[in-house]
Amino acid sequence: METLVDLSEILRNLALTAAAAVGAYLAWKKLGPETTQAGSAVFQATLARRAHVMELFNRAPGQLADEKMEVRLAAIYILGEITVDFPDLSEPVFKLLEHHLDATMAKFDGEDVPLDASAIMEVLRRRVSDEFDR
């Protein structure tokens, strides 16, 4: 009789283990779509942010050529922040700023340095110091 009791306990424990394994599997399967959906939402947000940054970058050449100093400075500072947030975009940003600086300094008459040229030099200086710190 004692053997039957031991056998029934073993079978009961095996059945409970199997039930727990099936429950864990079903819970894992249920979490799959939510995890995938959350990952997709994060990916979509990243793509939207990158698209916004690309739009800012595409507008920058026109803003750098604007007559108003405020517009030019805003474009320069935005481009500087793009290089911080998106290091993979820093090369084209710096090429654009260097080109604009060359064009600005070509018109420079030797008196006070234009404010936008100073801002570009500050952004470029920050890049050099960041590379030096690495």
- DSSP assignment of 62-116 equals HHHT-SSHHHHHHHHHHHHHHHHH-GGGHHHHHHHHHHHHHHHHHT--SSSPPHH
Task: Enter the pTM of the model.
Answer: 0.66
pLDDT of 131 > 70? The answer is no
HSE of 50, CA atoms in CB hemisphere, 13 A? 10
CA dist 95 and 88 (Å) reads 13
The whole domain housing 105 covers: 2-133
Q: How confident is the model at residue 80 (pLDDT cuts 50, 70, 90)?
A: very high
Q: Which of 39-48, 52-61, 81-90, 125-134 bottoms out in mean pLDDT, i.e. has the lowest?
A: 125-134
Mean pLDDT over the full length of the chain = 86
Q: How confident is the model at residue 134 (pLDDT cuts 50, 70, 90)?
A: low
Crossing angle of the two packed helices 90-106 and 2-64, in degrees rounded to 10: 10
Q: Six-digit token pair at 54?
A: 């690309």
**Residue 134 has what DSSP assignment?**
-
Q: Six-digit token pair at 51?
A: 């698209």
- Domain total of the chain: 1
pLDDT of 76 > 90? The answer is yes
User: pLDDT tens digits for 34-53?
Assistant: 777 777 888 899 999 999 99
Inter-CA distances, 68 with 20, 55, 113, Å = 70, 20, 16
Q: How confident is the model at residue 105 (pLDDT cuts 50, 70, 90)?
A: confident
Amino acid at site 48: A
Q: Considering only residues 122 and 26, tell me which one the structure prediction assigns the higher pLDDT.
A: 122
